Structure 1
């Protein structure tokens, strides 16, 4: 696999300073920058295959959103919110000296991309939303929230792989080695040698299924955010997604940036971009 570097950038939250780690692929002098941002319990390593494929065309930058992977944990978990993540990405772009960027965001990473792309004078020139939109299924949010807060410790790596594979079944069919990578990327050993997940348990406090009223307010805000986006937008949807309904995906093709919609058969939430057919969907949109 192509060589990459791991760097950090110092960011600020109301609770103080924190470091955000990121993987960087390709020529650091390349003015074409692609930022790839992962889902809520995932990490920058999710984009290894996509980044290695695109780093000849782009300087590809894949951050670990704060609280995950190689990045610091926030001193106050209440700031694990989209506005904080958008702020951190603005700091990252300043570090990269990137005037414009293309953006690939899976789930939460897509919401961060929407937030940044909706701003006046946004640096986002092309946006890829991977299985996420302004309306999110309450049942899917409950499913995801149910395992985020679980305190899990595994005696062996194999036990941990089985667990990650079980909760990640919506990713669709993957080879055993791909499942091992998907698991290894989000696992680490604690001081007792037990295998645990890589993220701050404090994330669970901000990722609870919202009340019906809260969900309505959130959706209204997200639709307004989506409506403010003007850059070319690609929406990739897992055909069996329980988070992004077909109805919402179709609505996204008729308002705001009028996203181009491509559905991936045999996949739920969310496509992993580990397979060539999925990579080609993104590649053709970004390079056309």
Structure 2
């Protein structure tokens, strides 16, 4: 069987050029896959490849990341609320009415905002990959330490080595996947050196607005069927928070992913089988 290949596409939402990978656009049953704070939609390639024979898959780059446009008003627009507005307009433009949502870290936070409000009743299944309605302060400080100071390298291979270090908690990632991560995370500066793909203002605003990620009220308003994935050694989603998520709001199912911290890469059979059972239910 020939492997399904995605299309690289663009549209305008809320005045921004948004890049997204589009798998099986002729299928009627969609999954939206939204990446984490400093990442891109290409992280979902292994996951999307697993489901593209049955589902239409949309995996965007959030503004300020990847191939999507950068904001001219970062303090106002590099915020969860604006990301949610972009998602709604984007999905409406694509004609997607009801969907399953798989969100890693920040992508899960966007999913919570939407499932509690603008897309309530339209998101039928919500997967939150190592994210909850409260973030552990130690993890926030760790993230701030590397995302607010974009590194600079002479070569892409040096950038790949850096990514292998900071994203080691993702778990088992093949050499080919590390290379793809490097190549989809690279931006060449005017001086010819290599840095990470994202607008530095994204991370500055995150560092100033972590309160946006405190959202128990939103959690309690969610009605979608919900699955929470927790990295066994995650420093972002604490055990107490994860267990509280099973008792209130949508009363999520909880699966602890062994051998991972923040956040599982959703790229190996055990993790994909878990998603498959939930998304097919």
What TM-score range do you get, normalising by the shorter chain?
A: over 0.9
Distance 2:194 2:268 in 1: 27
Instruction: Choose which of 99, 102, 114 in structure 2 pairs with 1:101.
Output: 99
Any conservation in 1 of the 2:135–2:237 contact (CA below 8 Å)? Answer: yes
Which stretch of structure 1 is more off in the superposition, 171-180 or 89-98?
A: 171-180
Which stretches in structure 2 are left out of the alignment for 5+ residues? none
Q: Which of 74, 79, 96 lines up with 1:77 in the alignment?
A: 74
- Quote the offset at 1:173 in angstroms: 3.1
Q: Does 1:33 align with 2:30?
A: yes
1:264 corresponds to 2:262: no
Which is further off, 178-187 or 155-164?
178-187
- Tell me what 1:10 maps to: 12
Structure 1 residue runs of 4 or more that deviate by more than 4 Å after TM superposition: none
3-state secondary structure, aligned to 1:84: helix
Query: What is the distance in 2 between the residues matched to 1:107 and 1:151?
Result: 19
Cα displacement (A) at 1:178: 2.5
In structure 2, relative to structure 1, the CA distance for the partners of 1:283 and 1:103 (3 Å cut) is same
- How many Å separate the matches in 1 of 2:224 and 2:37? 24
Equivalent residues of 2:34, 2:103 under 8 A apart: yes
Superposed CA RMSD in Å reads 1.6
| 1:51-70 to 2 correspondences below 5 Å | 51-70=48-67
TM-score, with normalisation over the residues of structure 2?
0.94
- 2:172/2:268 contact within 8 Å kept: no
The offset of 1:176, in angstroms, is 2.6
Matches within 5 A, 1:114-125: 114-119=112-117, 121-125=120-124
Q: 1:29 deviation in Å?
A: 3.1
Contact 2:128 2:229 (C-alpha < 8 Å) held by counterparts: yes
Mapped partners of 1:2, 1:187: distance in 2: 25
TM-score normalized by structure 1?
0.92
Aligned to 1:207, the other structure's residue is in SS state helix
Unaligned runs of 5+ in 1: none
The answer to whether the 8 Å contact 2:103/2:109 transfers is yes
1:279 to partner: Cα distance? 1.0
1:224 equivalent to 2:217? Answer yes
Number of matched residues? 277
